[in-house]
Amino acid sequence: MSDEEDIILVDLAPTPGVRGVAAFSVGDLREKSAQAIENAMNTIHGMSTKVVTALKKIKVSERPTKVEVAFGIKMTAEGDALVAKVGAETAVTVTLTWEHKIIEDEPANKPK
């Protein structure tokens, strides 16, 4: 695939607290979209790392067997990726799911 085929253009929302309309050239839109996508992937990675870290603090036998985290990502005209409420204002809804199977310890002196 060429770079042209790899491009994902994003409908960029205005930065929170800023009014006005941003006018981008096609080149600017490509650059801002690439930046927003990269920031979104970093946000997803950061959220998943925080969830895994929190789960590791729970004793294995007390961990839930399944964990699901849903959040939205809103991409701004500045190329930022903000965590947002899941709903109409989000550009991307992300659902991360982990499944943990609890395995009972076998007795150490179990006869063969």
Q: What phi, psi does 50 have (nearest 5°)?
A: -65, -40
Position 81 in a domain: yes
Q: Considering the entire predicted model, what is its pTM?
A: 0.68
Position 105 in a domain: no
Q: Which has more pLDDT, 31 or 107?
A: 31
Residue 2, amino acid:
S
* 4 pLDDT more than 70: no
Position 106 in a domain: no
Residue with tokens 């839930």: 64
Q: What phi, psi does 98 have (nearest 5°)?
A: -120, 140
Tokens of 43: 């946000």
Residue with tokens 């253009």: 9
pLDDT at res. 102: 60
Give the domain range for residue 89. 3-99
Position 109 in a domain: no
Q: How confident is the model at residue 2 (pLDDT cuts 50, 70, 90)?
A: very low
Residue 110, CB half-sphere, CA atoms under 13 Å: how many? 5
- Distance between CA 57 and CA 103 in Å, rounded? 18
Q: What is the total count of domains within the chain?
A: 1
Position 82 in a domain: yes
Position 112 in a domain: no
